[in-house]
Structures are given as structure tokens and as C-alpha cells.
Structure 1
Amino acid sequence: MERMGAPAELAGPLVAALGPGAGAEVSADPWRLLAVSGVTPEQADYCARRALGEDASPDDRRRGRALAAHLLRRAAREGHTALEEQRLTAALRSAGVRSVDAALTAALEEGDVMLFEMFDEPDEPEDFDGDPGEMPDPDRWYALARLGQGEQALGEGLNRLSAASEPIMDSATAAETVDAAAQRMGAAVDPRTTAALVTVALRGICVLEHGAGSDTAIAHTLACAAAIAAESEVGMALAAPTAQAAAELDDALSGLGADPGVRAVSLAALLETRAPGTRGRGAENPIEAGLVVVAGAMWLDVEHAAALVEACADGTHLVLLADPAQAPSAAPGSVVADLLTSRTVHVATLPQDADAGPLARTAAQVAAGEPEEVGSPGREVVFVPADSASAAAHRAVQLITDSIPRALEIPPEQVQIVTAMRGGEAGADALNTACKEHFNPGPGAHGGLDAGDRVLLSADGPGYAAGDVGFLRVQEGGTDAGGGSGSALAVELPGGALCPVADSAHLRPGWAVTVAAAHGGRWPAVVAVFPPETRASRPQVYTALTAARRHLSVVQAAGSTWAQGVRDNAALPRTTRLVQVLREG
């Protein structure tokens, strides 16, 4: 490492990326350094020249192989699941690779990269004159192996569920069941909700679209879907992205005054997650329910969605409740948007609540690209201007520590700071430092954390999911994450579940989280922070705002560029293959 000019602190990340033989691999191929996130091609080239001298050619096959994988990993961090060949080859040539074909061949031989050839399906069929003509050249896509395989499995699994589905009930019986459930609840179920539930009973895969003001319709849908599942004796499983969101669903269902007979759980719990990519539920041990409903489905990335679909047995009806105005998942993929684009699944729209309050109206303004303040007589929504990042940070901490608990009687542990970025004076890292000093100062005995700290789980583990926020507990005399005796770390999640932490690297401070990390969660009160350097987009701002249930404070330090970003940046497009996989059938 030192002789090639690489810093010693890269040793740990290299072993994590390449395994115990990382040292020997890097000595033989310095461009292996690109396997570590944060290492740039320029830095890897420098180390290669130090190690190989004149043999470090810009067109070295090893360099091309490493750059191809590096470009795909960078694309994955931006949410893309694959890159078209033309785009990838152009990027390689820009990096000085002359023998692009050799570079791509080497990447494929390594096994971390896969090639997919697909024929594009036109949106509208062309007139057929009896002459099939020549087959067009296929589209060629390159993907990281885990993402390519996951997206392929997802599309094939969804097609499997569609082909194997049969109605749970006929339409008349489903409508009658909904009416009977509504009478038991003493609720007036909107006819559009009833129509959506009939679709759920008839079709194998349904996407139920809704907006920020559809809480009542969502609660009615879940309670009545449970009634359909009970009446037809197929059983229902209800999941949400995080424990926080699952607890909120349970609260909404209990507020209807009727026991739906279904308890919401996090998706990690439903799939019996044990570690990232390792789950107890799958094709050999499917979910024991004929109706599987997932709320907050915009959170789903390709890998989680593929695991969910694999765990659904043939004949299972899968229902995804999704707000299309939200940002796509934090991890690669654009699952719900791709399903809607593919037109291969059934779609219904849930109605807005007639009495949608200021929170929903504010979000609706953002969704329309018109970020205007609305009337908020009960201080449900408060905009707090700030003229600098430091001022924004000061106001955010003041809101969670004093203003919201004092004025609205919402305790600090129910207030979540959601910020547009991780770094900077008003980013998640700085805000977490300030909150820890106020709420739970301590020595950081457990990797910088202490018992009682609010923590964010950054990866899946036994019973928890990436994005879960809870409080750190330390159990003396237990088994630590390494399997030895000592202090065992656990996280107390909303709903009371105490989950042992499989890997302490999964833990981060959680008083403040980024918008991406907050995706899929909802809290009684949210402080949304937009520092001056925010590059706002409509989906990003909307996702931050819709994380609040009762109160929202918007600390806005980005000036007029914030509103301009909401107006102009209407989408966060991603390159994926799912639409083509679904259409190929």
C-alpha cells in the first residue's frame, strides 16, 4: 500500500471489498483500489504508476476492467440499475480507454459485471404487412451482477405472479364484503376505494396510487382488504418499509374502531431478514398469506422488491400502495414507476380525504410544482427562513429541543430532523453532533455512540431494515456483534421491538437523517432542513415534507433556488431494465 502511495486507512475498506486476499490482489493489480467507494480513477492511476512504472498503461486491460465496474458502481449510487452499452463505452473512452471491447470483455470475465441483450418493445404495435423483415439489433445493457440478476428476477417473478393469479372473490362478493366491513367500522367508504378493492380481489398485482391527503382512504383500504382476506380465508400480510411506518399503520387501523385482524410489520420482519441479502422467507419458505399488501411502496428498490416477490407463492395477490410524487428508492431501481410505465399491472387511484389539512395541502402544492405556503391555523406547517447554513442548523436544533415540544407538546423523541444532505454545517452529521451534545452527551463508548442515543440503521439485519430509526440499548453480559461475550448492542424500534444489532457498522446517529434515509418513515413531527447549497428537486422536497404526520417545520436557507428547484426539477429519472423485462414476459 505505502509503496504505491495509497493511504494506510484504505486497508480496512479494501479487505471489506475484496476479502482477506486484498493485499496480494492490489499488489498485482493496483486498479483494484477502485473497488473502494471514494477512490477516484485519478488516484488509482497514480498508485498504478507508482507500483508498475512504465507498465502502467492507460489502456491496460486491468485498468479497463476496473473502470467499467467503477462506472457501474457510481451509476448504482445514483440509482441506476444498468447502463446502455453506448453510454458505458463513451464513459470509458473519456477515461482514456482505447480498447473498450477488451475492457468490457475483461469485466464480464471477472464476474462482477453482466451483459443483458434485450429487444425494445414499441409502445404502439406497428401495422403488420405479412413480412416479418429482419430482426432488429438488441439493446445491450451492462449491470453489476447483483443488480442485473435482481432486476431480472424481479421482472420474471412479477410475470409469474400475474400468470398464476386467480380471483380471490368475484367483484360482487368483494363489493359486498367491503360494504359489510364499512358498516362494522361505522365508516363511509368512498366508492373509488371500493372499486380499488374489487381490483385487489380480482387481479394478481395491483398498484394503488394515492397522494399525501389519502390517509383515510388508505386506512379504509387496509381494513377492508383484511376483511376480503378473512372472508375468502386466504389470509393477509401487511408490511411497511420501516418499523416506524408499520407502527403508524397499526395506529391508523386501530383508530377506525374495528379490529382488522392484521398487524402491520416492517418488510424486514415480514421477510425474516437476518443480514443484508439473507432472509428466511423465499421461494422455499414463502409468506403464508394469499394477499400481501405493502404500503409506502415507493421505498422499494430492485433488490428488496425482488426478495418480496420471490417470497410470494404462486397465486398470491400482491398490492403496492404508493405515492408516485415521492422520490424513488434510496437504493438502485425505480420499481413502482417502472410498473406504471410498463402497463403490465393493474392500477387504481385512491381518493383524497375531503378534509385534507395543511400538511397535505402543502405537499400537494409542492407536487404541483407550486411551493406556496397554505393557511395553517393550528401551526401544522411552519416555514422558518434562515440566511445561512449555521443559522439553519441553529434553528433546527432549537425546534427539536425547545420550540416544538413546548408549543405543540410533541416530545423530542417524536420529532425527526430530515435534511437535504449529510455534510456541511446544516447537514445530518453536524446536526447529529449538536443533538447528541444536548440530549445524550457521553464518551461514545460504542463506536462513537452511547446507550440512549437515537440511531439510524443503515443496512438490513435481524428484524430491522435500512432506514429504521430507534434508540440504542446496551445489554451487559450478552453476545456482541463479533460473537464474543460482553456488551450486546440492540435497537429499540417503534412498537417496542428490541432488535439485536448484527453489525455495529450498521449504526449511525439518528436525530437527523438525510431525505434518502428518511424515505419510508413517518414521524409525528418533522423538521425539514434545506441548507443554502441544496440542489432541490420536486420529489426530494415532497418526500421530506410527507414524512410528517402532525407537524412540519421547514427550515429554508436555500433562498429562491429552493422554489425554482421544485418548479423546474420535476423528476429524478433513472436508467433501469425492468420495463423491458416485464414486457418481454
Structure 2
Amino acid sequence: MTAPSRGPHPEPPAEAEGAEPEATADHPAAGPAAPGETPATAGDTPREAEAEAETAADGVREDPAPEAAGPAGETAGDASPDSAPETSDRAEDPAGSGSSTGPGGAPEGAAPAVGDGAAEQGAAEQEAGRLSEAQAELAAQRELRARIAQRKAERSGPVAAGEGLSGSAAELLAAVRAVERGEKSGGAFYPPTASAPRPAEPAPPRITGPRPAPEAATAGPAVAPEAVAAVRAVLARGRAPEESAPAVAEALGERADAVLREDPWRLLSVPGIRPEQADSFAQALLAGDCGPGDPRRVAALIVRELERAALRGDTAVPSSVILAELAGRAVPDPEEALGQAVADGVVLAFATGPAEPAQATENTKDTEDTEDTVAEDGAEHPGSDEEALPGPVLLALDRYALAEESLADGLARLARSGPDARWESVAEPTELTRALAVHGLVVHTGGEAARAEPAGLAGAARSLGLTAVVAVHSEQAARALDPAAVTVASLLAGTAGPGRDEDGAWALDLLVVLDAPKLGVEAAAVLVESLPDGARLVLGGDPGQLGPAGAGDVFADLLASGTCPRIASRVPDPGPIGELVSGIGVGELNEVAAPGKEVVIVPVRDAGEAVHRAVQLVADSIPRAIGVPADRTQVITVAHGGSAGTRALNTALKARLNPGPGRFGGYDPGDRVAYTPAPGRTLPGTVVSADAAGLRLDCEGTAVTVAKDRIGATLRHGWALTAHQAAALRWPAAVVVLPGDAVDALSRPWVYTAFGRAERHLSVVHGAAAALPRAVTTIPGAPRTTRLRTLLTALLSPSGSPRA
């Protein structure tokens, strides 16, 4: 569609003292943050900003804690802003306070999700006393990883990776494997070497043993008080804050005190601990009998950096990044130290592709950028005949490396499934059913309206006498699509979906997973490994959405590999909001006609005014002018911290919509909350009551009890969410807040995701000046460094599999 023409810009009328500013599409309030304001993304890189800390975050924080001499416990808190923004009872009508046209020439601000900045993991026991979905899901993933590790140990060599490599890259990979087998020293793979291409290794056999049944998993017991007391004694001996003892015991387990005495730097595995703090603790505990090159310190620093990368979505990191980190931490010989860590099994090393010509790096900004590029495409770039440089080496933690290996094996197994003539008998064939008749793995792409197409496959399968399951990421989406649909979490936990056969595989013929861009690599590996031979898998989603809040980028990697058919929907999203979002998806910020005030722009000058306007819209204007009540309107902003982050907005919205003393751990009955039972999952809910067992919530019709000691880690107020938290959910009305102090965090996927959460009405509280159109047109989002694309290409391309 083309945007309507625009006439001359009239001069805005002068405003009376204290009057509300008039908002028009032609005159958005521009503006960076006022002097002295703290940016919401201070301390975060753009890639860290894109990682939602619904995962445990020790380094990605929107409100970084000040450096401190003490070694433990000083993490960034969730304290409210110094003062709640002033609110007003005066109504602000979208019809009069904002433009009813789209943001084509007016709104110029939106922002991508920044890290949540708090450790939000673990789950409370539900009322029935059975395991929570999150506990069962995590236990199932642990069992899968243990089983894969056992398979690797039973093989004569490490897990096969990188088939099809040649030249120096193949030699590098061979050297890595020799290091893992103990045949060479850990530094053997760093010097460039040349040799004949290594013969292709056979693909690893598929796991044929019984698969784990998540419903049979058991959660570990809570840390005993005596274990916490023992940790407290060790912390006191190392002159560390003793109040950190519960967190340390939870992170390191029942033997945490013995672990710390043996390796003080294991303190770095506790969320929020910084290297300087761990060094101080180690010096005190070991009485100076250690140095910067201590292998235990090196191992902890490497693991910490890789875990931080996982929060940004990376499953692997170029070796140059780790070497730079070690050098910056005063490790005497970073290359030797890293080689020893590889030899000791602290980290796995992988060569990612063929050598690149030397001239390809002449104009590269830095080595890390070059290696990130190669890691993404894994392809050989043309160049001159100058001497070739060795391909980059990627380093990965075993949990992510093994999950990617298992996932690649499983996807290849499904993709190699032969034709299934039963799908040719569908009464009304579609592109999807025709693809399923030939291929076992199919990708479907499209917007919100297109979700009905893959969801409809379940009915077609049942008409053929096949067993089919549709899995989505929220109860809300499940109810809207199919009464028989289940959530991915409940499917993994075994509380919904089909039973399992004697091998532990699900007894089904078709699995359709919607909102597939939210799948992280570990959850995807469990899903795929649980599918029986011959089953069909359809992954559906919108490639313009934000990626998962955790390690991996499964949907994007599968699309980029081109190793399975891709069916693109031709169904557009309806209405002005659909037109606006569709344009954003292709990098265009169009002005749209909104006769029913479906899209409204509310310019603001600073973050304080943004909070004030957002509260008025939710409490007064949208209910009165649009007819959507406050409890069906969702506020979406860039970060948790900052002058207009979720904390500031939730403080103001609670004061207006449900004032109370917060007598139950900061919450009152009637409060809207965001419950995070497991990393990467956010469930909207409402506080019902509280008792000795904990805080009782209603989460989309499901009763949940959050234990007292888990409230701080799993709950936030939920009137305002980040875009990562809101992904895969929709509300009748959404208010997207774009403060001027968050413009550095903007990207096209963030804008696309945030604007697309509204069904009937979208208000954009806009104070980001030109950052919005710049983000939409020029910032496609930071790529993630993963190995899945390369693995899939190596496994499937030689077999002649269909490519997109």
C-alpha cells in the first residue's frame, strides 16, 4: 500500500502554561534525553541490550551495580526509581492528544529490548504439589544433555562436526579433536598449518536408546540450611559479604563450601559476581597463593564470558574474543592458557570454515568482526591468490555445543524422511500439505494472520487418521488457535500432548510448532529428539520477530541453511496496524490511514512526560475513546531500568490503577504481574491472594503459587513489559513507550515485535526523535554466533535435500 500524501506542515499553536501539548503526526516531539538523564541502556552493548535477562544475568544489566571492593553479593537491584513520575487525573483522549495517522513521518522512536538485568530463573511448586512445568522442562533438558554426553564418551572421538571442510580449516578441526583426545597440547590448533583435506567422517549415529520422559523427572531438593551456613563460613573467611550465602549455595549446590575452598573462582558462576570480586575473594581465601594465570581463574573467566555470550544469544564465541578477555584480565599467556583450558575440557573448540584470503581482512574493523561474519555464513569468500589465513576457531560450552549437535542430527533425520503418500489424500490440498507429502521437515513463514495456516494442518491430519499436535508459547495463543493446542512448556513437561512409545518418543505423526523464533537451542533439541522416525515437523513463525531470550537462533538458522522447504504465506495482516507492521518488516516506516484511531502518536519531550502520558492513556483515554479497559491494555517499553523503563512505568501504573502498600513482598491483590517460571518464559498474571505457602496468582486461567523465597527472582509487576517478554502475546490495545534515553537500543526486530502486539489499537508514546525511522530502515538486528546453520548444511546439502 502507498502512504497518503501529506500537505504542508502548519505551525503548531502556542501552548498555554501548563497545558497538555498537542500531538500531531506532522509534529512529533523529538528529542534525546534531557541533560543529566541516565540512558536506560547504560553499560550495555547493543547485542547485550537485545538479550532479555529472563535468563540468569550476571553481566547483562541495564542498571549496572557500581564497582565495589567486596567480592560478592553486590548485584543490581530492582529498586524503584527515586520518585514516581507525577500522574494526572485529567483524561487524554487519543482522538485529540495524538495523531490518528501512522508513524510514517511522525513517530521517530522505538527501541529494542534490553537485558532484563535480574536473575529470573527457577519455578515454584504449583498448588497440586506436583512438579512445575519449568522444573520438569529443565530436568528433561538436563537428562538429554547427560545422555548426549554419554553418547559422546562412548564414541572413539568427539562429536562429529564440520564434515565437508577442507584445507587449513580441516587441519584446524583435526588439531582440535587431537587436543580433545589428549594426543596434542592445548595450543596445537592456534598456529596456522596446512595439510591435505581430511576425509569426511561418518555422521554420528542417531541415539536409539530410550529418550527421557519429562514427566518422570524429579527436581532437586532445596538447599539445606546447614549448607547455607557452611557457605557463610567460607565467605566470611574470604572476607566476602555473608548475605550472599543463599545465592551461592543455590548456584553451587549442597557442597558449595567445599567447591569454593577448592576453587574460589567458582564464585563467578553466581549471578552478579564480577571478576574483581572473585579475585579479591580468592586472594583472601588462598592467602595469596595464586596468581592471574591460575588455571582455575582462567577456566572461570572463560566460562563467564561464554555464559554472558549465551545471554546475548550466542552458542559459541570466536577464540579472539576469549583471548582478548583473558589479556584484559592480566592472564600472562592467553594463548597457552586457552589451549590448556581446551585440553582440560573446560571449553570445546571448533573450526568453522575454510581459510579466508588475507586481503579479505584488510579493511575489517577488527578481528572479532571478521570471525563473527565467517561464523555466521560459514562460506568461502572469493579473493585473490594471496596466502590464506586459517579459518576462525569457535569456542563453546559443552551444553550448547552438544545441544546444537543433537538438534542438527534430529533435524537432518526428519528432513531425510521419505515421502508419505497419506498426505496426498487430503480433501483440500494446500502448499503445506503438498510439502508434507514429500518432506519430513517444513518451515512456514508469515505474520499474525498467517498462523491459521499451519494450525489448520492438525485438522487435515486428523481427517487422515493421523495424530497431530499444535504447540504454541502461550495459553492465550493456544485458546485462540485450536482447543486442542498445547504450550511448548507443557508438551516438554509431559503435562499435555500425546503419550510416549516404548522408546520414549511421542506417539504422533505431526508436530506443528508456532512462534518458532522463540525456540532456544536447548528446548528445540528436546522437542526434535522426542519425535519418532517418520513424523513430520512444521516450524511456523514470523522471521521479523525478536529471537529467543537465550542461546541459539534455531528458526533463523534453519531458514538461512536452506535445507528444507519454506512455505511463505500470502495472507496479509489486516487493518492499519497490520499495514504498519508489514512495512516495518521490510524496512519501511509508512504513514497509514487510521480512520478509527487504530494508530495514535503521542509526542513527548522527555522520559518523565512519557511515563505521565502512558499512565493517562491506559487509565483514561483508551478505555473512554477506544473501549478497551485498562486490564486489557499492555504497556511495552525498551528496558527494565531507566527513566521510562518497566520499573518506573509499573510504579506509576500501580499508583494509579491499584494503589496499595505492597504488603505481600511488594505486591497486593489485583496487581498485574509478569511471572517467569523458567528462563525465556514470561506468563502474564494477576495477584489473587497470599498465605503461608506464598503468593497466589491467576496466570491466564491457571492457578500458580510462588513461594516466598522465589518472589524476587520470578516476579515483576506486569502493567509494563519489555518487547521480549511480550513476544508471542497480543492484547486488544498496546501502548509502546519510546523514551529518548533508549535510542541506542533500537532495532527493526524490536519495533516490529512491539508494534505487532496490538490487535485493535496502538498508541506510540514517542520521544526518540529520528531513531525510529533509522532503526527500521538501517538496523536489522545483531546476528547471533551459532553453529547450527553450518552443521545443517554439512549434514543435508550433500544429500541433495531440497533448498529454499
Per the shorter chain, which TM-score range? 0.7 to 0.9
| Deviations 1:462-488 (CA, angstroms, capped at 9, x unpaired) | xxx812212233476xxxxxxxxx435
Q: Match for 1:543: what amino acid?
A: T
Mean CA deviation greater in 423-432 or 440-449: 440-449
- 1:525 alignment partner in structure 2: 733
Distance verdict in 2 for CA 1:10–1:157, change over 3 Å: same
Alpha-carbon distance in 1 for matches of 2:522, 2:419:
26
Distance verdict in 2 for CA 1:33–1:517, change over 3 Å: same
Quick check: which has more Rg, 1 or 2? 2
Aligned counterparts, 1:119-158, within 5 A? 140-158=393-411
Distance verdict in 2 for CA 1:30–1:319, change over 3 Å: same
* Residue 269, structure 1, aligned to residue 490, structure 2: yes
Q: Match for 1:350: what amino acid?
A: S
Alpha-carbon distance in 1 for matches of 2:257, 2:334:
27
Higher relative contact order (CA 8 A, sep 6+): 2
Q: 2:756 aligns with which of 540, 546, 553?
A: 546
Secondary structure at 1:469 match in 2: strand
Distance verdict in 2 for CA 1:357–1:282, change over 3 Å: farther
Give how far 1:144 is off.
2.3
Q: Is the 8 A contact 1:165 1:316 kept in 2?
A: no
Alpha-carbon distance in 2 for matches of 1:560, 1:50:
51
Alpha-carbon distance in 2 for matches of 1:388, 1:41:
36
Q: Is the 8 A contact 1:358 1:375 kept in 2?
A: yes
| Deviations 1:398-434 (CA, angstroms, capped at 9, x unpaired) | 2222221221111222111111101012111222222
Alpha-carbon distance in 2 for matches of 1:104, 1:148:
18
Alpha-carbon distance in 2 for matches of 1:527, 1:475:
30
Q: 1:562 aligns with which of 772, 781, 802?
A: 772
- 2:422 alignment partner in structure 1: 169
Alpha-carbon distance in 1 for matches of 2:695, 2:504:
29
Mean CA deviation greater in 444-453 or 394-403: 444-453
- 1:392 alignment partner in structure 2: 610
Q: Match for 2:490: what amino acid?
A: A
* Residue 403, structure 1, aligned to residue 621, structure 2: yes
- 1:85 alignment partner in structure 2: 319
Distance verdict in 2 for CA 1:196–1:406, change over 3 Å: same
Distance verdict in 2 for CA 1:198–1:456, change over 3 Å: same
Q: How many residues align?
A: 526
Q: Is the 8 A contact 2:723 2:750 kept in 1?
A: yes
Higher helix content, 1 or 2: 1
* Residue 507, structure 1, aligned to residue 715, structure 2: yes
Q: Is the 8 A contact 1:246 1:266 kept in 2?
A: yes
* Residue 13, structure 1, aligned to residue 247, structure 2: yes
Mean CA deviation greater in 404-413 or 71-80: 404-413
Alpha-carbon distance in 2 for matches of 1:19, 1:221:
43
Alpha-carbon distance in 1 for matches of 2:549, 2:490:
19
Give how far 1:445 is off.
4.3
Distance verdict in 2 for CA 1:168–1:71, change over 3 Å: farther
- 2:466 alignment partner in structure 1: 234
Q: Is the 8 A contact 2:636 2:721 kept in 1?
A: yes
Give how far 1:299 is off.
1.1
Give how far 1:578 is off.
0.5
Q: 1:200 aligns with which of 436, 439, 455?
A: 436
Secondary structure at 1:375 match in 2: coil
Ranges in structure 2 where 5+ consecutive residues have no aligned partner: 1-234, 355-376, 383-388, 796-804
Alpha-carbon distance in 2 for matches of 1:532, 1:507:
27
Distance verdict in 2 for CA 1:446–1:314, change over 3 Å: farther
- 1:572 alignment partner in structure 2: 782
CA RMSD across the alignment: 3.0
Give how far 1:237 is off.
0.7
Higher strand content, 1 or 2: 1
Q: Match for 1:210: what amino acid?
A: G
- 2:265 alignment partner in structure 1: 31
| Normalised TM-score (structure 1) | 0.82
Q: Match for 2:566: what amino acid?
A: V
The share of aligned pairs that are identical, in percent, is: 39
Give how far 1:289 is off.
2.5
Q: Is the 8 A contact 1:283 1:313 kept in 2?
A: no
Distance verdict in 2 for CA 1:90–1:394, change over 3 Å: same
| Deviations 1:465-515 (CA, angstroms, capped at 9, x unpaired) | 812212233476xxxxxxxxx435443233x33345575443322221111
Distance verdict in 2 for CA 1:489–1:434, change over 3 Å: same
Q: Match for 1:298: what amino acid?
A: P
- 2:329 alignment partner in structure 1: 95
Give how far 1:118 is off.
5.7
| Deviations 1:315-361 (CA, angstroms, capped at 9, x unpaired) | 111111111111211111111110011111211100133x7311111
| Deviations 1:351-392 (CA, angstroms, capped at 9, x unpaired) | 133x73111111123223232432111111112211111111
Aligned counterparts, 1:149-548, within 5 A? 149-167=402-420, 169-171=422-424, 173-174=425-426, 176-178=427-429, 194-211=430-447, 215=449, 217-223=450-456, 225-250=457-482, 263-272=484-493, 284-353=503-572, 356-460=574-678, 466-474=681-689, 486-487=692-693, 489-494=695-700, 496-501=701-706, 504=711, 505-534=713-742, 535-548=745-758
Distance verdict in 2 for CA 1:566–1:85, change over 3 Å: same
Q: Match for 2:428: what amino acid?
A: T
